[in-house]
Chains A and B, each alone.
Chain A
Amino acid sequence: MLNRGRNIEKGRVITRRMFILAAAKILLFAGISSRLYNLQISDREKYEILSDKNRIREWKTPPQRGIIVDNFNKVLASNDRVFQLHLILDEINDFDVTIFKIKNIIGLDKSQVQKLYKKKERLKPWDTLVVSDNLTWEQFSKINLYLHELEGAKPVLSTSRFYPYANDLVHIVGYVGDVSPKDLEKPEIKENFVPGLKVGKYGIENSQEKMLIGNYGIKRYEVNASGKRISQIDYIKERQGNKVNLTIDIEIQKYAQELLKGKAGSICAMDIFTGEVVAMASSPTYDPNKFTHGINQKDWQEIRNNPLKPLINKSIAGLYSPGSTFKPLVALAALEYGILNPNKTIRCKGHKHPYELYGVKYHCWKKEGHGYMKLRNAIKQSCDIYFYEMARLLGVDKLSIIAKRYGLGTNVLGDLYNDEKNGLVPDTKWKRRALEQSWYLGETVINGIGQGYIQTTPLQLCLMTAQIANGGYKIKPHIIKDEAINYKDVINKIKLDQSNFPLHERNYLDDINIENYQRMYHKKSNINFVLDAMFGSTNEQYGTSYKSRYDDPKYQFAGKTGTSQVRRITDLDRELDLDTEQIEYKKRDHALYVAFAPYKDPRYAISVIIEHGGSGSKAAAPLASKLIKRIIDRHKLREQFNNGNTSLA
């Protein structure tokens, strides 16, 4: 009985203990349930993101660059179809074997294969290796034929930059190339970087990167733990970059480039009211298409070693003494400041009796002398003696105010070109600051004929001419179409404004800041005097560019020649009096010419510089004359097009 009682007690204990255990189990299962709730319901989003990060990997696809067009919407930089060969690295079992096969199929040489190995080292195992970004059609079709034997190989139809006008535009449009570490510092490139991306290296391609680059596309793939692609789950299409519309007229640009063939120099042409650059040629030139897929060593050496320096954009990065093309501005400054009466007569007596200042002799370019000269004649015949005297009376500081106002000494196109030079308009302050020397009067004298410290770019000379030709109004030269400004209104306003009276509220003789499309002159009659003198220089007998004139008023232009010395002329040189051809190329003078046309109701300004071309009247003015005719012939078309009649395109 006792035993039985004990047994009952034992059974009770077991059951009681079982219930205690069961309670503990329920508690622990509740713990698991709440943990599940936490993970799967409260923190679900967090883990979903982590899961997607795990399983989704993105591949970026390069965007198409925006196109660049000229004033008439003609395509200057396009995207051409190219054949490429890509290798998907994670689909390749034996890289060596695959490369060996490819090498034999498309015919790679040893250094190219080495380059591929080097390239591969920098890539992640799931990246794409671009074996070639520009295959020929034969190579491409061969690859497609053997494709089943090439694991991971992917023939790709892609696009790459193409410049249909190649050499004619490289200095304006620039070219593209592979992204360098320095390019990656630019935010727009950093944000849009994709392997295989080409970015602008120079010119518009470079400075308008933000517009042109576009946005990359994203292909999202599901990948497994080792990174292998399983399936494509998303594709955000890439966005092509924006179009950039230039003010250039490719026909005129081409012609300008043709005129410069075989020479080193520049031709710039711009609309004197709108500031639109119509042509900006620089010679010699080179083919930007060669840079797109990496230029080969031979071509690169050829470009680099050319003594005429094709890589320098002479229109904006070439610095030249303006020579006599500076004279109209010197005359204008003297008149504005009332330094001298235009009827003042000075006698030019030739080399035997040069202009003398403190014992230093200053010669006129004309050996036999010009005789008695008044200001108009001095401009027309480009008499140096008259300008020596006038500059002496004017002083360099006043001259520099006017020279700077009309566009010399400062960068013209802003930050469009990273190599654009400022040039130099010297004054006494500048010399003291830069050279720590005081100014000599003799330097003022030679400054009067555009020699000495003064340095200008061809585009600055073109701007200077334009701003005199438009009646003395400030314009903003540009090469990218500016849709924000209604130029029709601007032109009308300037043409109606031409008042002759000095304004009371502003002293135009001070170094003042002038807004775009506002007058820059003190007295209108001074501008008119200079324009008239330039007319004489081209269209009257004894004018320096008389031979290049047109009698037809439609084409009639006015201009000023210039011959800029590249070295000091010695007495021996004067005695020898050699022809241009007889002088060593490097020592020949630069030939310059600035002009505006048509003379009545002018619209375009032009500047021509032929390096070591000899005299402006022989080497530069005839080119300007030819180009002016072409520009004026195309003027109506341009006006119609720009005023919205696009049907002519």
Chain B
Amino acid sequence: MLRERIQASNYSFLDKLRSIDYLLILLILAIGLISVFAIYSTEGGKFSFYTKNHIIRLSLFFSLFLVLSFVRVSTWYKNAYLFYIVGLVLLITVLFFGISASGATRWINLYFLNLQPSELMKIAVIICFARYYHRIQASDIQSIKFLIQPIILLIIPCYLVIQQPDLGTSILIAGSGIAIIWLAGLNIKYFIYSGLLLLVSLPFAISILKPYQKSRILTFFNPDRDPLGAGYQIIQSKIAIGSGGFFGKGYLKGTQSYLEFLPEKHTDFIFTLFSEEFGFLGSIILLFLYILLIYRIINVGLVSRSFFAKLYCFGFATAIFLYVFVNIAMVLGMLPIVGAPLPIMSYGGSSLLSIMLGLSIVMSCKIYNQEQISVY
């Protein structure tokens, strides 16, 4: 019985359907539904451009997720480096042919969608690293030789993304990569040393930041420094969330967003709007949904046989956590405004696509969880 199962090719369709994590699908749908309502609210309760687009993308990418879930996990494994290379090529394309908006060059025009390759790179790095560490022996992990390669693989996309400039995404890419290196079992002292090194080099790092990035970081430490300029977003966001109270102002009644005090309310600040209208209660429920989502992803990793699946799922769960944490901490004024969308909730095709792609790999890990991946 078990032996039969080990051969993935022998999986029947019914078996596959049975191994699907329905709770995970339910969570994705729940957050997706909330996001539709939230974006509907950003348009002042009108069924308009953003809401329509968001629903179309959500259904499209969700279908894509369902289809890709049945791709064998070994296929993902085989194509992991390709994935990374495609991502890198796209990032380089952005450098030369990208389209700009508000001072940043981040997108490639694909006619039906403005693709943001840095979003795809978030997933590419995880899958690439998962494959890399899948084949490395436990004894080799600590060696410098095997450490240098992933670091280079990480620095290239991070550098390209910073050039766009997009500090937020770059940090998230780096975070996901480092998470996998950590999971693979790299000695803790490396993390401590590099952490200290980062701290020492921080003044130097800040000096090479773009002026607007510097301003954002300074503003983070003191939002009242420039209440109508750089500090405006943080102040208005805090006012919106704070004035929501326990139960919120009610759906479609968030005055801060309705009266256009909130900046970028349908993308990075979607949580602010949600929190203003649904209050502490709603925010905690949404947070809980994300925690459940992360838990389910980790769970898939735990029941998976292969290191690749484990590393990928744990890494992706950490990435999702990072996106959620950075976004919410940012709108709560706990972190500088760096431009990080809230997974699924935020309006934006590329971000949604990469999350759905990432989730479909998780689901494929679940469906084919007994699949052994040979090292070659």
Contact = CB atoms under 8 A, between A and B. Distances in A.
B239 A54 contact: yes
B287 interface: yes
Given A15-B302, A36-B275, A41 B259 contact: no
Interface string A329-365: 0000000000000000000000000000000000000
A33 B242 contact: no
Interface stretch (B100-108, B326-334, B342-350): B326-334
Interface string A502-535: 0000000000000000000000000000000000
B256 interface: yes
Contact of B332 (A10, A39, A47, A224): A39
Contact of A28 (B137, B298, B302, B325): B325
Contacts of A43: 242
Interface stretch (A16-24, A188-196, A572-580): A16-24
B301 interface: yes
Contacts of A35: 329, 332, 334
A31 B310 contact: no
Contacts of B236: 54
B240 interface: yes
Interface in A13-67: 13-15, 17-18, 21-22, 25, 28-29, 31-33, 35-37, 39-41, 43-44, 46-48, 50-52, 54-55
Contacts of A9: 138
A231 to B, nearest CB: 10
B280 interface: yes
Contacts of A48: 242-243, 245
Interface string B183-207: 1110000000000000000000000
Contacts, number: 132
A492 interface: no
Contact of A36 (B179, B284, B314): B284
Interface string B296-339: 00100110000100110010001001000100110010100000
A224 B254 CA distance: 12
A55 B259 contact: yes
B175 to A, nearest CB: 11
Given A13-B185, A40-B245, A40-B246, A21 B179 contact: yes
B239 A18 contact: no
Given A47-B238, A51-B239, A55-B256, A32 B329 contact: yes
Interface string B270-286: 00000100011001100
B73 interface: no
A41 B310 contact: no
Interface in B334-365: 334
Contacts of B311: 14
Nearest to A223: B259
Interface string B106-121: 0000000000000000
Given A35-B332, A39-B238, A44 B256 contact: no
Interface string A444-484: 00000000000000000000000000000000000000000
B224 interface: no
A118 to B, nearest CB: 28
Contacts of A32: 287, 325, 328-329, 332, 334
A225 interface: yes
Interface in A296-328: none
Given A40-B245, A43-B242, A48-B242, A225 B259 contact: yes
A25 B294 contact: yes
A71 B246 CA distance: 62
Nearest to B256: A51
Nearest to B182: A17
B280 A41 contact: yes
Contacts of A41: 245-246, 280
B227 to A, nearest CB: 11
Binding site secondary structure of chain A: helix
Contacts of A55: 255-256, 259, 261
Nearest to A10: B138
A50 B279 contact: no
Given A6-B139, A33-B287, A55-B255, A44 B242 contact: yes
B259 A222 contact: yes
Contacts of A28: 321, 325, 329
Given A47-B238, A51-B256, A54-B261, A17 B185 contact: yes
Q: How large is the interface on B (under 10, 10 to 19, 20 to 34, 35 or more residues)?
A: 35 or more
B310 A11 contact: yes
A495 B361 CA distance: 113
A15 B182 CA distance: 11
A441 interface: no
A226 interface: yes
B244 interface: yes
A228 to B, nearest CB: 9
Nearest to B302: A15
Interface residues of A, number: 40
A230 interface: yes
Contacts of A54: 236, 239, 255-256, 259, 261
Nearest to B236: A54
A264 to B, nearest CB: 63
Interface string B76-91: 0000000000000000
B259 A14 contact: no
A133 to B, nearest CB: 32
Nearest to B134: A10
B260 interface: yes
B8 interface: no
A190 to B, nearest CB: 28
B291 interface: yes
B81 to A, nearest CB: 21
B127 interface: no
B183 A18 contact: yes
Contacts of A50: 239, 242-243
Contacts of A36: 241, 275, 280, 283-284, 287, 332
Contacts of B184: 13-14, 17
Contacts of B261: 54-55, 224-225
B239 A14 contact: no
Contacts of B255: 51, 54-55, 222
Contacts of A10: 137-138, 185, 307
Nearest to A42: B242
A18 B246 contact: no
Nearest to B245: A44
Given A32-B329, A55-B255, A40 B275 contact: yes
Interface in A208-245: 222-226, 230
Interface string B169-186: 000000000010011110
Contact of A29 (B243, B244, B287): B287
A13 B185 CA distance: 6
Contacts of B280: 36-37, 40-41
Contact of A47 (B137, B138, B241, B318): B241
A47 B325 contact: no
Contacts of B138: 6-7, 9-10, 13
B242 A18 contact: no
Contacts of A222: 255, 259
A596 B332 CA distance: 85
B287 A21 contact: no
Contact of B260 (A39, A51, A224): A224
A-B pairs, 10 with minimum CB distance = A47-B242, A51-B243, A13-B185, A224-B259, A40-B280, A10-B138, A225-B260, A39-B242, A47-B243, A18-B314
29 contacts: A6-B137, A7-B307, A10-B185, A14-B184, A14-B314, A15-B302, A17-B182, A17-B184, A18-B183, A18-B310, A21-B182, A21-B314, A28-B325, A31-B334, A32-B334, A36-B275, A36-B284, A37-B280, A39-B242, A40-B244, A41-B280, A43-B242, A44-B246, A47-B239, A48-B243, A54-B259, A55-B259, A224-B259, A224-B261
Given A7-B307, A50-B243, 4 more contacts: A10-B137, A25-B318, A40-B283, A222-B259
